[in-house]
Structure 1
């Protein structure tokens, strides 16, 4: 199917795809690290694993955090579990509690429970944030840990904020010479000026796990899709439909500062569907590692992922999601700086395929966070 696009009555410009051949990466300022802390005298460093969050990805974040806590080597790490409730109240976690295990809250509201959580964090050596989505992955939690002077896994404030914003990510990608799906940002005030011009994908600018994402094939389904996306964000991205295979790749910064690229992973998606929330979490997703790609296409994908890792200011591990068209063209879909991190998520599966099993991957990430 030929890609179509959505326009406005005044024909406001949209973001155009850049030429496919990559250009040099803009020089990236290294992500700011946490302030140095005194060396721990503990035999096992204490790690705060933070899950939950005040957003639509709360349950996914609980699963990620619980999986990390269970997989960390108890002979090497002392683990403190913290959960941010949907209401913003912080809890201390005990895995003995059914469900995800949040015990009594640390306070009555977000502010006093956060103050209590900071007291617990002050007695930790480093943190492993596992909060996907807004008020977590978007740099918010990184900012809190920066202010607390606590080393942490993953992207800093700038990298998290840029990558969480799908529109900003596309602008950076185009500046790097990478291809993206043409599209535009829409707010609630602009909805009535939109003119239907064929199938589009509608998604919140800053949300994850495919929440609020809709493939719109008919004009009468556009407004409900926009309303669903606007319920999660005040800006919506409307993009042309890209026909192609969905292929992911991950970049890991190891403790010595070197970058390791995992094998590409293809997501088996039924014809006419997106890799939406249903396919992700209802049943077993069809992940194929390694993805069958021509060597030139794989090399281009690795190069593009490393370019964006540097340009966005990523750290720890980040996942880069692409479409690969029938002609072999790579089109960036999005970047995840706090990707799903259960043992069966894409990133751990990729690195396990090259001999880096899940517990060792977590050890690598923590060692990288503590290198500052």
Structure 2
């Protein structure tokens, strides 16, 4: 839509939804701030909606500067919610797209229709298919993966099962479900130790359904295992244990174009000497610098791009995905995971890879909104 066209007809209204109840609340706020800063206001009207850490939906200030890390302090929805703000309600009736604002003791106000939702939520209760299901019920278009692919992308166990069923290479792993650890921790611990005997220490103990490297521990021996399990279970009662894959960490972005998904140039996450692995602090506080484009051969680049698009299709993804790989010492790629709503600040790897591929940040945001507006809700 050109600026001339938008001046003659109503602009699409984009609700940017962020925050949420997961441990990635602050990362979601940071990401949303970058998107709010980039959305072309001559083409779109914007409605920022934050979800507090306890699950309350609120109108927030449209102020990206207050949504960034400041002196090492992480932002929250509570800090930018309108003072004394009431609750925000999305429609649940199919075909109704108005947003309602409600304050105690006052008549609810109709804030107008929303044409598309840009869900910038990370982690459970937003990136895992729950919000996507609500939007499907109401028939409101939204950016990114649908219900099934969001759920697959959040659960590392079932993600790996899907990839393996489609012939994608995955690394060794084992899963400990909540009742296993609660009912017989000795047996669950023995299974992890047996896994280590087969594949070697160190192991990485992770929440099965979390992101941003939250709750992940590197375990070099039996002595640190229980503490690592406790830390992972603090984020998710189901944990996944993976063996160390020796090689280079390579990432590749996938973006939905009019003619289908395409892969970006890949990037490399170099080893961070001050961290045991690429953890939360390395990503967001110390800002570990990825290499874009990754120093790969033409054949290696083509291979990882092919695998990234295959992973996108295997999980029935839409809109965007960041696919993370290991390039092993034998030259083979192994897929580690996909992220259906990756970190999305201008310095995050997904936008940087697309910048190097010829799609700058504002265009990237616009393409995602346009793809959501083109795509019908419901079964497809």
Q: Which runs of 5 or more residues in structure 2 are unaligned?
A: 1-7, 68-79, 92-97, 101-109, 376-380
Query: What corresponds to 1:162 in structure 2?
Result: 152
Q: Which runs of 5 or more residues in structure 1 are unaligned?
A: 1-40
Q: 1:246 aligns with which of 236, 246, 249?
A: 249
The alpha-carbon deviation at position 229 of structure 1 amounts to 0.4
Query: What corresponds to 2:335 in structure 1?
Result: 332
Query: What corresponds to 2:270 in structure 1?
Result: 268
* 1:349–1:98 Cα change, 3 Å: closer
Q: Report the secondary structure of 1:145's partner residue.
A: helix
The alpha-carbon deviation at position 259 of structure 1 amounts to 1.8
Contact persistence 1:57–1:133 (CA under 8 A): yes
CA distance in 1, matches of 2:358, 2:302: 20
1:222 and 2:225 correspond = yes
* 1:171–1:315 Cα change, 3 Å: same
The alpha-carbon deviation at position 97 of structure 1 amounts to 9.0
Q: Report the secondary structure of 1:370's partner residue.
A: helix
Contact persistence 2:25–2:53 (CA under 8 A): yes
Relative contact order higher in (CA < 8 Å, ≥ 6 apart): 1
What TM-score comes out, normalization by structure 1 length? 0.84
The count of corresponding residues between Structure 1 and Structure 2 is 329
The alpha-carbon deviation at position 113 of structure 1 amounts to 4.3
Query: What corresponds to 1:103 in structure 2?
Result: 82
Q: Deviations over 1:161-204 (max 9, x none)?
A: 01111000101111122221211111323532223333211000
The alpha-carbon deviation at position 104 of structure 1 amounts to 3.8
The alpha-carbon deviation at position 106 of structure 1 amounts to 5.2
Contact persistence 2:322–2:339 (CA under 8 A): yes
The alpha-carbon deviation at position 220 of structure 1 amounts to 0.8
CA distance in 1, matches of 2:13, 2:261: 26
More helix by share: 2
Q: Deviations over 1:276-323 (max 9, x none)?
A: 111011122211010011222222211111111111111111000001
Contact persistence 2:33–2:64 (CA under 8 A): no
CA distance in 1, matches of 2:272, 2:132: 37
Q: Deviations over 1:31-68 (max 9, x none)?
A: xxxxxxxxxx9532110001101010000000111110
The alpha-carbon deviation at position 92 of structure 1 amounts to 0.7
Contact persistence 2:143–2:369 (CA under 8 A): yes
* 1:42–1:205 Cα change, 3 Å: farther
CA distance in 1, matches of 2:63, 2:336: 39
Q: Report the secondary structure of 1:356's partner residue.
A: coil
CA distance in 1, matches of 2:17, 2:260: 26
CA distance in 2, matches of 1:344, 1:282: 12
Q: Deviations over 1:49-95 (max 9, x none)?
A: 01101010000000111110111011111110000000000111213
Q: CA RMSD in A?
A: 2.2
1:192 and 2:194 correspond = no
Contact persistence 1:92–1:104 (CA under 8 A): no
Q: 2:361 aligns with which of 353, 358, 370?
A: 358
Contact persistence 1:265–1:290 (CA under 8 A): yes
CA distance in 2, matches of 1:242, 1:57: 26
1:179 and 2:169 correspond = yes
* 1:105–1:276 Cα change, 3 Å: farther
Contact persistence 2:17–2:118 (CA under 8 A): yes
Q: Which moved more, 1:148-157 or 1:278-287?
A: 278-287
1:151 and 2:151 correspond = no
* 1:300–1:309 Cα change, 3 Å: same
The alpha-carbon deviation at position 244 of structure 1 amounts to 1.1
* 1:115–1:128 Cα change, 3 Å: closer
Contact persistence 2:16–2:118 (CA under 8 A): yes
Query: What corresponds to 2:30 in structure 1?
Result: 63
* 1:184–1:334 Cα change, 3 Å: same
CA distance in 2, matches of 1:274, 1:319: 19
